[in-house]
Amino acid sequence: MQSPLLTELVNALKILPGVGPKSAQRMAYYLLERNRTGAEHLAEVLQESLEKIGHCERCRDLSEDTVCHLCRSPSRHANELCVVESPSDVLAIEQSGIYRGLYFVLMGHLSPIDGIGPEEIGLSQLEDRLKNENIDELILATNPTVEGEATAHYIQQMANRLEVKVTRLAQGIPLGGELEYIDSGTLGQAFAGRK
């Protein structure tokens, strides 16, 4: 029989995305049997991160500062605002090196079934930014899911009322992709968005 504390550790590790019972058990045993120093470091960094990392008051991205380094940067294009669902989306766009504007992180998407409405994803704060900042272009980069599309539509309607130009990231066939392996939804988006 496994100790109660070990069971609690395994259950705690299962909260991570993609980690099931067996993976969590392997991680717990590895940390306790083979890498206690690493486990202590992990625990310290996790605790410090929980204490010190919050949200940027302008863009809502994860940040140790009240206003994140991207929002403070004078080299960013302050007239472009890209709306994304999560901080990991900001990271992916930044790693591409293609975008030099600012961000607004929703921290989710509209989902009435789950009780997530406009207030829960900060749309009043976004509306304030659109009213008070000189935004020439609002770029919608929500995920191409039903909820992501509904969220994008809601934001587009809000931006249209404020007379802010709205664009949407292109969707479709990836470079080097073969048609026979593309799902029908992606293929449909590619046809609908053709130039």
Structure tokens at 193: 């968005």
Q: Which amino acid is at 143?
A: N
Beta pairing class for 137-140 and 101-105: unpaired
CA–CA separation, 193 vs 65, rounded Å?
Answer: 39
What local confidence, expressed as pLDDT, does residue 9 receive? 95
pLDDT in tens, 122-136: 999 999 999 999 999
Q: Are residues 136 and 157 in the same domain?
A: yes
Contact 170, 193 (CB under 8 A): yes
Q: Are residues 102 and 26 in the same domain?
A: no
CATH classification of the domain holding 88: 3.40.1360.10
Map tokens 């140790």 to a residue. 64
Q: Are residues 108 and 160 in the same domain?
A: yes
Quote the pTM value.
0.85
Q: Are residues 24 and 86 in the same domain?
A: no
Say how many domains are in the chain: 2
pLDDT in tens, 111-121: 989 999 999 99
What local confidence, expressed as pLDDT, does residue 150 receive? 94
Residues whose CB falls within 8 Å of the CB of residue 132, separated by 6 or more in sequence, listed in order: none
Q: Per the domain annotation, does 121 fall within a domain?
A: yes
Alpha-carbon distances of 92 from 85, 98, 140, rounded to whole Å: 12, 10, 15
Provide, rounded to the nearest whole percent, the portion of the chain with pLDDT above 90: 81
Q: Are residues 63 and 154 in the same domain?
A: yes
- Asked if residue 187 has pLDDT above 80, the reply is no
User: Quick one: DSSP state of residue 76?
Assistant: S
- What's the residue count for the chain? 195
Rounding to the nearest 10 degrees, give the CA dihedral for residues 142, 148, 149, 152: -50
Range of the domain at 154: 57-168
Q: Per the domain annotation, does 193 fall within a domain?
A: no
In terms of Cβ atoms closer than 10 Å to its own Cβ (0-12, 13-18, 19+), residue 59 is buried
Q: Per the domain annotation, does 97 fall within a domain?
A: yes
Q: Per the domain annotation, does 120 fall within a domain?
A: yes
Mean pLDDT taken over the chain = 92
